Amino acid sequence: MREDLLHYIWKFKKFPSENLKTVNGEYIRVQDVGRHNQLSGPDFFNAQLIIDRQLWAGNVEIHVKSSDWYAHNHQKDSNYDNVILHVVWEDDISVYRLDRTEIPTLELKSMIDQEMLDNYQKLFKKSTSGFINCGNDINVLPEFSLENWKERLYFERLEQKSNLILSLLKKYNNDWEKVLFVLLLKNFGSKVNGDCFYQLGLYLDFSVVRHFIDKPFDLESILFGLAGLLDKENLNDSYYTELKNNYAFYKAKYRFDEMSTPRAAFFKLRPSNFPTIRLSQFAALYANKNNLFQELMSADDDSVYKILNVNAGNYWNTHYTFGKTTGSKSKRVSKKFIDLMIINTIVPLRFCYNKYKGEVLNESFFNIIQNIKKEDNSIVDNYVALGLSVKNAKDSQAILQLYDNYCNKNKCLQCAVGTKLLNLKS
């Protein structure tokens, strides 16, 4: 037995409501199970119960065994003084508050339908796919219910991404341009250099960046210098020397300290993702863009792609790293890379900005992400292999949320698929 099932049973009243009694024989009528608390403290807040014809309002705590109350040291915690009912699978000891008054206990062991218990056990036996618990039965939901569940998952993911945006807005006094700068720079770093570029974005004062909106070479030299890409000695490359000298001037002027930002990495990266290429592309994106945030927030779908469709500087047409010439090839960002920027930065920012302005999300908000192909990664591919419909990037973001926050954490009873399987009748 696990506590998450007991939480589910209490929350959705999966116990007989008639002739409900405490272990001491007191009649209970549940008027309100309370609000499920996912944080520290009692499991359900503000429940309303009638116990022996007296109305009680307070909290409910749930354990597998009554003795878990003492195992968790609740008897020493004043946060549990207002617990009015202890709900347990098995009652093995009486439980008391700090003032030594006994807490009424409801034992569920003899009340729960065996079929539900059997279904619960099946939930946590890995499917033949070995990927997720319900792999053999993931399509149990009707299509309409599944689409609603994916919609909710997608909004959960947007809300999670909003947390970083909101914290940055607070840090930078609602400077949306600065927040965009930081998040886009993080995206240009992808997985390997994402943290390095993010720290670089945090470090750079955006008032300084504004001075270089019409000087992409200068911005490139600053980004390269702070990322540790200009520390080679005796490199016979005129472009490198020019960048290095330019950075040295601005380093002295603005008192930059490259020790404050981590060094960019090349290890295990394809050449098109080298930090040299990505930082040059990023500098080009900001060339002659005084209000990039407003442009991206108001642009239609096609215009967003045009704005983000930038090319690295001319030097990089024949280089991936300094001093090593290659065949000539334009280093323009790919559509797939732009799609990821839209998914991970533009849409979450639009979501937050709409809420900030108090505007209702309309159909056009979803058009851009619904028109992007599903993301190509092993997690999404595994769900598709199980037969789940993943039509576009909105769906794939929902699926990633499902895996990260439900399947991978065995939170089956908080998932629409899991609860459906739990309540199946043979």
Mean pLDDT of 331-353: 96
Put residue 86 in one of left, alpha, beta given phi > 0 → left and psi -120 to 50 → alpha: beta
CA distances to 4, 130, 381, 412 from 125, rounded to whole Å, are 16, 9, 22, 12
- For the segment 138-149, what is each residue's pLDDT rounded down to a tens digit? 888 899 999 999
Of 346, 370, 394, the domain-final residue: 370
Do 164 and 200 lie in one domain? The reply is no
CA dihedral 149, 152, 153, 157 (to 10 degrees): 170
Do 27 and 127 lie in one domain? The reply is no
**pLDDT higher for 40 or 88?**
88
Do 220 and 359 lie in one domain? The reply is yes
Mean pLDDT of 194-211: 95
Do 216 and 273 lie in one domain? The reply is yes
Of 61, 77, 112, the domain-final residue: 112
Do 121 and 141 lie in one domain? The reply is yes
Predicted confidence at residue 229, as pLDDT, reads 97
Do 366 and 412 lie in one domain? The reply is no
Predicted confidence at residue 198, as pLDDT, reads 97
Mean pLDDT of 395-409: 95
Do 264 and 153 lie in one domain? The reply is no
Do 392 and 350 lie in one domain? The reply is no
Do 97 and 120 lie in one domain? The reply is no
Q: Which domain does 107 fall in, by range?
A: 3-112
- Give residue 126's pLDDT band: very low, low, confident or very high (50, 70, 90): low
Q: Please answer whether residues 350 and 365 qualify as being in contact, where contact means their C-beta atoms are separated by less than 8 angstroms.
A: yes
Q: What is the CA radius of gyration of the chain?
A: 28
- For the segment 217-235, what is each residue's pLDDT rounded down to a tens digit? 999 999 999 999 999 888 9
Q: Above 90 in pLDDT, residue 165?
A: yes
Do 329 and 213 lie in one domain? The reply is yes
- Give residue 316's pLDDT band: very low, low, confident or very high (50, 70, 90): very high
Q: Above 80 in pLDDT, residue 124?
A: no
DSSP 167: H
- For the segment 255-273, what is each residue's pLDDT rounded down to a tens digit? 999 889 999 999 989 999 9
Most confident of 32-41, 152-161, 355-364: 152-161
- Give residue 97's pLDDT band: very low, low, confident or very high (50, 70, 90): confident
Do 159 and 189 lie in one domain? The reply is no
Do 346 and 381 lie in one domain? The reply is no
- Total structural domains in the chain? 3
Predicted confidence at residue 209, as pLDDT, reads 93
Of 370, 385, 409, the domain-final residue: 370
